[in-house]
Amino acid sequence: QVQLVESGGGLVQAGGSLRLSCAASGSTFSTGGFGWYRQAPGKQRELVATITSGGTTNYEDSVKGRFTISRDGAKKTVYLQMNSLNPEDTAVYYCHHGLLGLHYWGQGTQVTVSS
C-alpha cells in the first residue's frame, strides 16, 4: 500500500513563497505519475500540477510561471515550490499518485495567503 505524507503548509503574506513536500512510501514511486490538487471552500478540487515518471511536467494556467513541481527519487519525495502567492491560492493542497487505475492521496495541508 502506497502512503503519501504531506508537509509545508502554513500562513504566508501575499507575494511570499512556500514549499510543499510529499513523502511517498511503497514500491511504486519510480513509476506512474504524481500531482498536486487543491480545494478551496465551496469549490471543486482542481488539478494544479503533474509530473510523470519521466519528468514531464504540466501546470494549470493560473499557476504557470509561479509554481514548480519536482521529484527526488533518492528521497522518494515530490515537491511543489509556490512563489508569488496571492489570496486566490488559499486552499487545502493534496498530493496524488496514480498507477494502472489505482489512486492514492495524501492527507492534505492547509495553505493560507493573507492580503
Read off the pLDDT of residues 29-82 as tens digits, 9 standing for 90 and up.
788 899 999 999 999 999 999 999 999 999 999 999 999 999 999 999 999 999
If you ran DSSP here, which 8-state letter would residue 15 be given? T
DSSP notation for 19-86: EEEEEEESS-TTSSEEEEEEE-TTS--EEEEEE-TT--EEE-GGGTTTEEEEEETTTTEEEEEE-S--
Q: What is the pLDDT of residue 31?
A: 85
How high does pLDDT run on average in the chain? Answer: 95
Q: What is the pLDDT of residue 27?
A: 67
Record the cell numbers describing residue 100, joined without a space: 494502472
Distance CA 29, CA 1 (A): 11
Residue 70 CA: distances (Å) to CA of 46, 51, 66: 19, 7, 13
Cα separation of the two ends of the chain = 40
What percent of the chain lies above the pLDDT cut of 70?
Answer: 99
- Whether the predicted pLDDT of 26 surpasses 90: no
Bridge partner residues of 92 (DSSP): 39, 110
- Whether the predicted pLDDT of 25 surpasses 70: yes
For residue 25, give the nearest of 40, 54, 3, 42 by alpha carbon: 3
